[in-house]
Amino acid sequence: MELEFETCDVFTTTRFGGNPLALVFGADGLETEALQAIAREFNLSETVFILPPEREPADVRLRIFTPGLELPFAGHPNVGAAVMIARRIGHEGDVLVLEQPAGHVTAWLTRAPGGQPVAAEIEAPRPLTIGATLDRAAIADCAALPVSAIHVNAHPPLLAGCGVPFAIAEVEDVEQLSAATPDILAMRKCFGPLPSPPVGLLLHTPLGVGRRRARMFAPLNGVVEDPATGGANVGLAGLLLHLAGGSALALEVEQGAEIGRPSQLILAARRDPDGTIRVRVGGGVVPVSRGVISI
């Protein structure tokens, strides 16, 4: 059996920047174990399988895998899939609806002057959820940092997300952020006993008004460091709006520079009339390669 695949770089306008993504087509009849094996073979932060939709009004259905597990939602697979599918099928509209376990995700396309889709913005399928506060010293150990590097002025380390949970912690400055190193044993000790363990640990630090720099470690799920994490940063943007109050918040996040994959994520959080916080994330997508997998 042969399956077509394409790869692209997400949250960038430059090839070999951003977060690489593999899209696999024609895997409708394969069991979950086979999809997970293919994702391990690609060994990227995520591999997304493009499948026929099952529920209206979706245009396609996505199944998203890290090398270690399936995710109900993730940011860069949705942004990348929206652009790459639109290019592949010659989609002429500006909106695609992507079905996945966390719910339907709407993607708004941006096109180059010639008409080709080059970027997308998606809204996380679920509102912000804030979970348990985490021990400051334990989080410092997870990142191999001194306890003093973990700030609690804005917020203590905690769980938050818009569809999937992440541990989120603010660090003192860019120097401490760059010095962080994931400690898998400390993460197993910190996150393993939790009822709903986070996908990974997002560290962030301010760069100025409306700008942050971030790193995300998920070695327990097969991703030592992610170049750009939409799913974690929508949680961060929602959390910052929750803390600041008000009705809306705009945020730019830099990620991936420490591992040679500079990425830029553009986020917008809003507070709906019922008080729930919803978040969008967008960025550029650059096609890279295509080929065939034999299984």
SS3 string, the chain, reads CEEEEEEEEECCCCCCCCEEEEEEECCCCCCHHHHHHHHHHHCCCEEEEEECCCCCCCCEEEEEECCCCEECCCHHHHHHHHHHHHHHHCCCCCEEEEEECCEEEEEEEEECCCCCEEEEEEECCCCCEEEEECCHHHHHHHCCCCHHHEECCCCCCEEEECCCCEEEEEECCHHHHHHCCCCHHHHHHHHCCCCCCCCCEEEEEEEECCEEEEEEEEHHHCEEEECCCHHHHHHHHHHHHHHHCCCEEEEEEEECHHHCCCEEEEEEEEECCCCCEEEEEEEEEEEEEEEEEEC
The pLDDT tens digits of the residues spanning 259-281 come to: 999 999 999 999 999 999 999 99
Please report, in tens digits, the pLDDT of each residue of the chain (295 residues total): 999 999 999 999 999 999 999 999 999 999 999 999 999 999 999 999 999 999 999 999 999 999 999 999 999 999 999 999 999 999 999 999 999 999 999 999 999 999 999 999 999 999 999 999 999 999 999 999 999 999 998 899 999 999 999 999 999 999 999 999 999 999 999 999 999 999 999 999 999 999 999 999 999 999 999 999 999 999 999 999 999 999 999 999 999 999 999 999 999 999 999 999 999 999 999 999 999 999 8
Catalytic, 123? Answer no
Is the entire prediction scored with pTM above 0.75? Answer: yes
Q: Which of 46, 121, 123, 225 is catalytic?
A: 46
What is the reported pLDDT for 153? 85
